[in-house]
Amino acid sequence: MKVVCRVPDRGEVELAELLRGLVAAPPGQPYADDVVELCQQFGARLMADPVARVHPELMTLGFFMRKAELARGKREHEAAARQDLVQVPAGLVFHVPPANVDTIFMYSWLLSVLAGNTNVVRLSSRSAPVVDHLCALLDELLAAPRHADARARVAMIQYGHDDAITAAISAHAAIRVIWGGDATVATIRRAPLPPYGRDLTFADRWSLMALDAATVAALAPAELVALAEQLFNDIFWFDQAACSSPRLCLWIGTGALVATVRDRLWSAVADVATARGLRPEVALRMARELFVHQAVLDGPVVGRTDYGAALTVARVDRLDGLSRAHPGGGLLFEAIAPSLASLDRWVTRRDQTLTHFGFARHELIELAQRLAGRGIDRLVPVGQALHLARFWDGYDLLAQLVRNVHVVG
């Protein structure tokens, strides 16, 4: 069985040979200096990269890998250390990122490489130019003699839908990280792991935002524009099709108050879209139109307003009966509720991220406690919906990717 090895750039290779090499690679250590330095170099290159400038998601990745951020991660890691625990790498980690979000494979690899693991990353065979670019950049950095060990511990590979290859890699995996939603999880899970192995799975998720109407109403014009810019990033990156892209805006306040601000805010978001030159794809725009008609027949949609070509806001008069179906590409459901607590009855395990604006920290914590694990694994300020982080989908990814050796002396 052959696969194409992109990082390190070796072209077509025999899978068995590749796996032998990876299994024999010297293990790393959590937050080892050479790996932190590699990530830092990668982040720095990305921040200065002309290609990354036109791909905001790459700038976010670069930000995530910059020196201060990595140092902060290391400090947190060390601060959490216990005298009776030695943290060691989990072993070989097999990553299956989604085909359509170009940067997740890097985040997935990054968190695991910081844990000191050996990593096999499956790249989509229809990979985007952005993926090629990131691979080339990483490959170049790994060529330095200082990174020989790190180089021996990574293989980013491409292969078609071949269950035998997936099974062969899985047979060696201490941890398998499956992104790509329900269908991918179901497919990849057919391949058994070793008895000690386990899966980190990322199911299909749905996300929303909550805005405090009084806070938005009190914003000065420039502040409203700043809020609109954050919302633009949250809504429109990845065509609103990422699991953490907000699809529902829940206003907290009275109908009368919301009526005075909603139009101003959505118009401001549309202005940002215009200023940034966003033009939806025609097929996505048409899909949105069909979806809105279907939603009117199937759910509680009571009105719709278009803000330019980019954004359609569909008002719902209740959350009951609002399904989690969504076409992506610039459609927001909009509802009004008296309090965050009213989400209680509606939220399910499907719901992942709540981006928020205008709430006190204790209100957010109260909501998380009240939901008690029924759903919503992330509450982050507006503008950070798509900032992938160590804490995701209810996991502490870093903690999941290390083993804790208990040493009582």
Partner 1 sequence: MLDAPPFGLAQADKAARLVPVLDALTRHHRASCPAYRRLTDVLGRGDRPATTLAEVPWLPVGLWKSHRLVSVPDDQITTTLTSSGTTGQVPSRVYLDHDTARRQARALARVLTHVLGPRRVPMIIVDHGGVLRDRAAFSARGAGVLGMMTFGAQPRFVLDADHALDRAGLADFLARHGDAPFLIFGFTYMIWAYFYEQVRDLGLDLRNATLIHSGGWKVLAERAVDNATFRSALTAATGLTRIYNFYGMVEQIGSVFLEGDDGLLYPPTFADVLIRDPLTLAPAPIGTPGVIQTVSALPTSYPGHSVLTEDLGVIERVDDGDRRGHALRMLGRVPRAELRGCSDTHAAAVTP
The residues binding partner 1 (CB under 8 A) are: 98-101, 104, 179-184, 202, 204-205, 238-239, 241-244, 279-287, 289-294, 296-297, 301-304, 306, 308-309, 327-329
Nearer to partner 1, 122 or 153 (CB): 122
Per this entry, what is the length of the chain?
A: 409
For the CB of residue 296, give the shortest distance to partner 1 in the complex, in Å.
Answer: 5
Shortest spacing between CB 392 and partner 1, in angstroms: 11
| Cα atoms found within 13 Å of the Cα of residue 297, Cβ hemisphere only | 4
Q: Where are the alpha helices (DSSP H) in 199-313?
A: 213-217, 221-236, 255-275, 282-298
Shorter beta-carbon distance to partner 1: residue 59 or 88 = 59
Distance, in Å, from the CA atom of 131 to the CA atom of 134, rounded to the nearest integer, reads 5
User: Which CB atom, from 215 or from 274, has the smaller least distance to partner 1?
Assistant: 274
Q: Which residue has the tokens 């709540």?
A: 354
Residue for token pair 């209680």: 344
Q: Which is nearer to partner 1, 35 or 101 (CB)?
A: 101
How far apart CA 140 and CA 95 sit, in angstroms, is 21
C-beta of 167 vs 287, nearer to partner 1: 287
Please give the single-letter amino acid code of residue 89.
P
Shortest separation between residue 97's beta carbon and partner 1, angstroms? 9
Asked if 185 contacts 177 with a C-beta cutoff of 8 angstroms, the reply is no
Nearest 5°: CA angle at 62, between 353 and 34? 115
Cβ 369 to partner 1 shortest distance, Å: 27
Q: Give the H/E segment covering residue 367.
A: helix 361-371
Least distance between partner 1 and beta carbon 345 (Å): 24
User: Among residues 169 and 243, whose Cβ is nearest to partner 1?
Assistant: 243
